[in-house]
Structure 1
Amino acid sequence: MKYLVLVSHGEFAAGLKTSLMMLAGQRDDVIASGLPDGKTADEFAEIFKESVKDIHEDDEIVLLADIVGGSPLTTALNVLAEKGLMEKTTTIGGMNLPLALTSVLMKDTLQGDSFVQAVLSEATTALQEFKVVEDDEDDI
């Protein structure tokens, strides 16, 4: 199986998973794990190990993190390395809902650089200013 694993500071990963399920439907291949406020990276490692306990060496992972270089990401990568899963893990930082949605929908059809380029393109295209333009009838 190919899993989408979301990691973040606080409850961002869990909240993003909830929103993702509203758009993509309930899925067993999405895991969310957050570093609780006041917990250490070592404590998060134990939380993350429990989250990914059902992922095995024949599985693949798309790992999305809130911040590149942040404790949740670096801790998750250490845990995945201990499990021997790094060769089958694609990691992207700076997650948002368009990135997560595109990842969950495309993870089983695209591989490697093609996957990364497609999901990053969708995520960055979604980042734009929204301007309200009013016409003479005060419609938006």
Structure 2
Amino acid sequence: MKYVVLVSHGQFAKGLANALSMLAGVREEVIAVGLEDGQSADEFACLFQQSISSITKEDEIILLGDLIGGSPLTTALNVITELKMNDHCVVIGGMNLPLALTTVLMKDAFDKEQLVEQVLLEAQGALKELKLEVSEEEDI
């Protein structure tokens, strides 16, 4: 099975998982873990390891993190490396809803390299500036 594992600071990963369930339905292969305020990296590592304990070495992990270089993502990578699961793991930082949704919906349609390419294109394409224009109607 391919698991989508979301890691973040605070409640972002859990909130994103909630939004994903609204758009794509509840998925058992989506796991969300957040580093809470005041929680140590070691405590987060234990929580992360518990959260992915059902994932086997035959499974794949698509790890999405909020910040590249942030404690949740680097700690999660350390745990995955310690468990010797990094050969079956793809990592993307800077997660957002379009990226996560595309990952969940398309993860089984592509191999790892193609999936990364597709989700990054989708996430980048979703970033746009919206300009609000106020129309002024003339009084006659």
TM norm structure 1: 0.94
CA–CA separation in structure 2 for the residues paired with 1:26 and 1:108: 16
Instruction: Report the AA paired with residue 118 of structure 1.
Output: Q
CA–CA separation in structure 1 for the residues paired with 2:10 and 2:107: 25
Query: Secondary structure of 1:61's partner?
Result: strand
Q: CA deviation at 1:112?
A: 2.4
Q: CA deviation at 1:131?
A: 1.5
Residue 114, structure 1, aligned to residue 110, structure 2: no
CA–CA separation in structure 2 for the residues paired with 1:122 and 1:135: 32
Q: CA deviation at 1:135?
A: 4.0
Residue 4, structure 1, aligned to residue 4, structure 2: yes
Instruction: Report the AA paired with residue 16 of structure 1.
Output: L
Partner of 2:14: 14
Q: Spell out the pairing of 1:29-44 with structure 2 (5 A cutoff).
A: 29-44=29-44
Please identify the structure whose Cα radius of gyration is greater: 2
Structure 1 runs of 4+ aligned residues shifted over 4 Å read none
Give unpaired runs (5+ residues) of structure 2. none
Q: CA deviation at 1:83?
A: 1.5
Give unpaired runs (5+ residues) of structure 1. none
Partner of 2:127: 127
Q: CA deviation at 1:130?
A: 1.2
Q: State the percentage of identical aligned residues.
A: 57
Q: CA deviation at 1:27?
A: 0.6
CA–CA separation in structure 2 for the residues paired with 1:125 and 1:98: 9
Q: CA deviation at 1:136?
A: 5.5
Partner of 2:51: 51
Task: Count the aligned residue pairs.
Answer: 137
Partner of 1:84: 84
Question: Cα RMSD between the aligned structures?
Answer: 1.1
Q: CA deviation at 1:126?
A: 0.5
CA–CA separation in structure 2 for the residues paired with 1:115 and 1:79: 23
Partner of 2:68: 68
CA–CA separation in structure 1 for the residues paired with 2:58 and 2:96: 27
